[in-house]
């Protein structure tokens, strides 16, 4: 699981005057409104005796621990310790990790990592959002699967004929060559495929069985998978879905479906049912994939040219793993929640005035590919053969 990335931790609609608990990268977080009205996101572990802050309450723009009432401000500093006599000093290292937050597209995005602002990736654009030409519906889906496997499934065009009867036809499964256009944080492809005739009210959209163009893309921020389907020259549907790694085997997908046709709200139910059916069909396969976690090296599975967009995703992901941005999930499995708490480092740890303080909770262990190769646990073949 990659850190130093933005992930959606909550729906804006779920933020109230109480603390909200979220879980991202195997770590529990508490989200609440700070004094200035902005949304704050902190590690959910109180550094006094480990209570869960999200079970407390919001008082005066701070989150108050339910156990002994310590209060933490939006930056993670302890603002009040009720058991101390008046005038007693709050220890300098009484602070917890605070993660940057941005609200966009109705979601609370949290930067899980310690990069300074200028080095953080941007959020993926969604230009059709808020455009009255487009009708939007939204929903969510929980997978018992690795988020990288889930993202790849969205980028994978050759599974459609076999997994989605409404989308593809197993007798027309050939994928013509396509180009992958990459940028610093993602990539996009455009492919052509031959869906069967549509059923239900969508029959009106396409009266002849002609090929349809589609553009799947990904962005590392949010674990975004975006699919644009150009049903006809004028009619397009978009699925913009962000995939949050709750832990190594749970993915929380939040999606927005946009369409520039049949914009009446009476067609919403049908559109929602179609999106939901696609997720159900994918989950039946993706939740059973082995190994559960997406491999790091291309040589660990056989890839075809038609897997081009997934290969771009794997390569980009591997470049971030090499930078030391991947949590070693084996450690998490054995240790976390039992003996030692661990947290993703936050930008506050790099600030001059906080660099030398003792941070009570240590940071997550990082996957070290070079060490794994040295110790014979991994054979890295940088460029697996593409067939």
Sign of the torsion angle spanned by Cα atoms 283, 287, 333, 317 = negative
Q: What is the 3-state secondary structure (H, E, C) of 28-81?
A: EEEEEECCCCCEEEEECECCCCCCEHHHCEEECCEEECCCCCCEECCCCEEEEC
Q: Which range binds ligand FES by CB under 6 A, 34-42, 43-51, 179-187, 207-215?
A: 43-51
Residue 360, classified by CB atoms within 10 Å of its CB into exposed (0-12), middle (13-18) or buried (19+), is middle
The CA distance from 342 to 363, in Å, is 5
Rg (CA), the chain: 23
225 closest CA partner among 168, 148, 292: 148
C-beta separation of 346 from 99 below 8 A:
yes
Minimum separation from the CB atom of position 252 to Fe ion (A): 17
Q: Kindly report each contact of residues 53-57 with a partner whose C-beta sits within 8 Å and lies 24 or more positions away, as own/partner.
A: 53/19, 54/19, 54/20, 54/21, 54/28, 54/29, 54/30, 55/19, 55/21, 56/19, 57/18, 57/19
Q: In angstroms, what is the minimal distance from the CB of 182 to Fe ion?
A: 22
Q: Does 282 bind Fe ion (CB under 5 A)?
A: yes
**Footprint on residues 165-224 left by Fe ion (CB under 5 A):** none
Contact (CB, 8 A) for 233 and 213: no
Of 9-17, 182-190, 205-213, 275-283, the segment contacting Fe ion by CB under 5 A is 275-283
Could you tell me what percentage of the chain is helix, strand and coil, using 3-state DSSP and rounding each to the nearest 5? 25, 30, 45
Least gap, CB of 170 to ligand FES (angstroms): 57
Q: Tell me the window of 208-216, 282-290, 305-313, 325-333 that interacts with Fe ion (CB under 5 A).
A: 282-290
**78 vs 108, beta carbon nearer ligand FES:** 78
SS3 label, residue 236: strand
Return the number of the residue (247 or 282) whose C-beta is nearest Fe ion.
282
Nearer to ligand FES, 29 or 189 (CB): 29
Q: Whole-number minimum distance, CB 154 to Fe ion, in Å? A: 7
* Shortest Cβ 215–Fe ion spacing (Å): 15
Q: Which stretch binds Fe ion (CB under 5 A): 7-15, 141-149, 210-218, 280-288?
A: 280-288
**Measured from the CB atom, is 73 or 282 closer to Fe ion?**
282
Binding segment for Fe ion (CB under 5 A), chosen from 69-77, 173-181, 183-191, 274-282, is: 274-282
Nearer to Fe ion, 146 or 282 (CB): 282
Q: Which residues, numbered 46-85, are part of the site for ligand FES (CB under 6 A)?
A: 46, 48-49, 51, 65, 67-70
Identify which of residues 30 and 364 has a Cβ nearer to ligand FES in the complex.
30
Q: Which residues bind ligand FES (CB under 6 A)?
A: 46, 48-49, 51, 65, 67-70
Positions touching Fe ion (CB under 5 A) are 282
């Amino acid at each position: 699981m990659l850190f130093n990335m933005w992930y959606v931790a909550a729906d804006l609609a779920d933020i109230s005057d109480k603390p909200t608990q979220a879980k991202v990268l195997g770590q529990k977080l508490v989200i609440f409104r700070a004094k200035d009205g902005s949304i704050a996101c902190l590690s959910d572990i109180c550094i006094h005796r480990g209570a869960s802050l999200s079970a407390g309450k919001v008082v005066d723009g701070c989150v108050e621990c339910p156990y002994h009432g310590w209060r933490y401000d939006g930056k993670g500093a302890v603002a009040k310790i009720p058991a101390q006599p008046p005038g007693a000093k709050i220890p300098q290292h009484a602070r917890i990790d605070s993660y940057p937050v941005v609200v966009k597209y109705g979601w609370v995005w949290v930067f899980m990592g310690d990069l300074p602002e200028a080095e953080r990736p941007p959020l993926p654009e969604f230009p059709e959002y808020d455009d009255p030409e487009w009708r939007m519906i939204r929903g969510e889906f929980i997978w018992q699967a690795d988020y990288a496997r889930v993202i790849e499934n969205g980028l994978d065009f050759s599974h459609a004929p076999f997994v989605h009867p409404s989308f593809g036809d197993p007798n027309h499964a050939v994928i013509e060559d396509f180009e992958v256009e990459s940028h610093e944080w993602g990539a996009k492809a455009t492919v052509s495929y031959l869906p069967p005739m549509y059923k239900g009210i969508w029959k009106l959209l396409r009266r002849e069985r002609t090929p349809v163009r589609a553009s799947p893309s990904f962005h590392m921020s949010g674990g975004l998978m975006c699919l644009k389907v150009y049903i006809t020259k004028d009619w397009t549907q978009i699925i913009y879905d962000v995939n949050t790694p709750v832990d190594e085997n749970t993915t929380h997908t939040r999606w927005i479906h946009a369409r520039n046709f049949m914009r009446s709200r009476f067609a919403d139910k049908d559109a929602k049912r179609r999106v939901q059916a696609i997720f159900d069909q994918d989950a039946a396969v993706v939740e059973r994939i082995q190994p559960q976690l997406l491999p790091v090296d291309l040589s660990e599975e056989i890839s075809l040219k038609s897997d081009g967009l997934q290969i771009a995703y794997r390569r980009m992901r591997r470049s971030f793993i090499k930078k030391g941005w991947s949590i070693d999930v084996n450690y998490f499995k054995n240790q976390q929640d039992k003996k030692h708490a661990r947290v993703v480092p936050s930008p506050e740890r790099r600030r001059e005035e906080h660099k030398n303080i003792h941070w009570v909770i240590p940071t997550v262990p990082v996957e070290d590919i070079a060490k794994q190769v040295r110790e014979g646990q991994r054979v890295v073949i940088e460029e697996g053969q593409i067939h």
